Amino acid sequence: MLPPTPPSPPLLPTLLPLPPPPAQRLPDLLTQAAQRNADAVALTLDGRHWTYGDLAQQMAATATALSARVAPGARVAIWLDKRLEFVLGCFGAAAAGAVFVPVNPQLKPQQLAHVLADCSASLLLTTPSRLALLQGLLPAGTGLVCVCVEDGAGKTDVNPAPGRALTAVAADTAVVAWADFLAAAPAPAPAATAIALATARPPASTLDTDLCAIFYTSGSTGRPKGVMLSHRNLVCGAHSVASYLGNHPGDSLLAVLPLSFDAGFSQLTTAFASGARVVLLNYLLPGDVLKVLVAEGITGLTAVPALYAQLLAAPWPAAAACSLRYFANTGGKMPLSVLAGLRQRWPGAAPVLMYGLTEAFRSTYLPPAELDRRPGSIGRAIPNAQILVLREDGQPCAPGEPGELVHRGPLVAQGYWGDPATTALRFKPLPAHLRPPGAVLPEYAVFSGDTVCCDEEGFLFFIGRQDEMIKTSGYRVSPTEVEEVLYASGVVQECAVYGLPHDTLGQAVHASVLLPAGTADPEAAVQQALLHCRRQLPSWMVPLRLQLHSDSLPRNPNGKLDRRALAAQAAATTAAEAGPP
């Protein structure tokens, strides 16, 4: 007798392809947008457009070329104006497993040399004219490779102009033209192939918690410090900001801020996260911004208060308000008079007031519906972040009680590059009693150094800074860095730099100076010191005024220059000179 036939196994369900995972690494923002709609325009510059498919393909080529030149984790510095190669350099480096370091194009060569040395950059992406400014500033033995793109925004994938030499800045520094650099990349491929290539992980598989970028920002003492941001920081920030701004594929965002700014770079990441378009603008005059608003149908604009004040003073085209859906601020408090003027000029646009710090990207925003109910508020925590107001003992403050703003969540950066001591001052373990239930390991939060208070409903109000950092035109300025330049002028015996309130800048840089005894022409010496500052510093760091002192400058009990006392004296002098209101 034959054994019974075993029952047939049940049919397996049809296996459907899994949906793509949510963006985890920075380049995923771009490639996933290309997968959704490769033909949608992603980037516009000077009338030229690139689709998401174009960018995905060129990012893949850039990543391949970078992989042939630098090791995973190597730093790739980018010293360019807003242009295609800037975007490709950042996203291509991230796709290759390297770390990109965007450098403000307005920095002076000496400041760039500091950044390159501080982060031990392996590769610099710049132009021939900028490269020439570095002659004699870079020491030998760095192994730096300089990749040059042609001068002039909008020109891409070209060799330097005929007759122009690519000169090395140090004996052992290789200099390569952009076209030769890309020669290591594969031949042009259809968009679908390029997307697949760009999506593939680099040989050393990159995790979302790995270091992705270093953004340099001034510290309260000394030269700029590199804030280390992970892929997760940048991706979470993109989705968070895009969510409360309501960004969508129909948006056109105008990038007027430097892409080396976290808020400037955010125009790229929020756009790519939502499938929107970014219009890059290297403007000379405020009127240029207004013209592009009209010509490109801009729906979203983020800028610093100083630029908004300049826009109000410029002649407005008739159609400047027709397309704008929202305007947002960054880099300081928006003056109420400027805000009122913008709301009058853009009645159909929603004002979105924001507060943030590079160490945590963005912390709060004020919903437009709350603007008139809570004038002066910096809002509440952005999505996927928690904002605490703590006393010195780590206990939460009561409503209306001043305390330090502390930011926790996935936007908290990884600290300062190569500076564990300063990292420990700003990035601290969250007090145990504030950790979520079940947490075993300590969680690090950013202690901002800003004093705020909150109302009964949790809306925050900015009071002031605990340190001596100057916040001007959206930039953070280190007083000691400006003081070093003043001393280097050779005409100053003693000086102290501080910030004073300014209607449009937020704060303006001022300095009190003591000249050497017997200075024949004090006014000429002051002008010489200011001229030296203009040659050595970007415009936002140059003191608006040098206040002359005849005696030694006041010091606190610890023997340090008392900047607060000097600022109070200078403010009183300025008010007396202005006369009664």
Question: Domains in the chain and their CATH numbers?
Answer: 26-231 (3.40.50.980), 386-465 (2.30.38.10), 470-578 (3.30.300.30)
Give how far Cα 415 sits from Cα of 104, 402, 405, 419, 428, Å: 20, 26, 17, 8, 10
Calpha distance 237→382 (Å, rounded):
9
Mean pLDDT of the chain: 85
Q: What is the mean pLDDT of residues 11-34?
A: 71
Calpha distance 253→267 (Å, rounded):
7
pLDDT of residue 14: 42
Rounded to 10°, the helix 479-488/522-536 angle is: 120
pLDDT of residue 542: 95
Q: Is the pLDDT of residue 6 over 90?
A: no
Q: What is the mean pLDDT of residues 136-158?
A: 69
Calpha distance 238→329 (Å, rounded):
16
Q: pLDDT digit string (tens) for 259-281?
A: 999 999 999 999 999 999 999 99
| Global pTM value | 0.81
Q: pLDDT digit string (tens) for 399-417?
A: 999 899 999 999 999 999 9
Q: Is the pLDDT of residue 62 over 90?
A: yes
Of the listed ranges 136-150, 182-196, 314-328, the least confidently predicted one is: 182-196
pLDDT of residue 152: 58
Q: What is the mean pLDDT of residues 566-579?
A: 79
Closest of 245, 217, 234 to residue 379, by C-alpha:
245
Q: pLDDT digit string (tens) for 344-401?
A: 999 999 999 999 888 998 999 999 999 999 988 999 999 999 999 999 999 999 999 9
Calpha distance 230→211 (Å, rounded):
4
Q: pLDDT digit string (tens) for 543-562?
A: 999 999 888 788 765 556 78
- AA letter at 417: W
The residues pairing with 228 across neighbouring beta strands, listed in sequence order, are 214
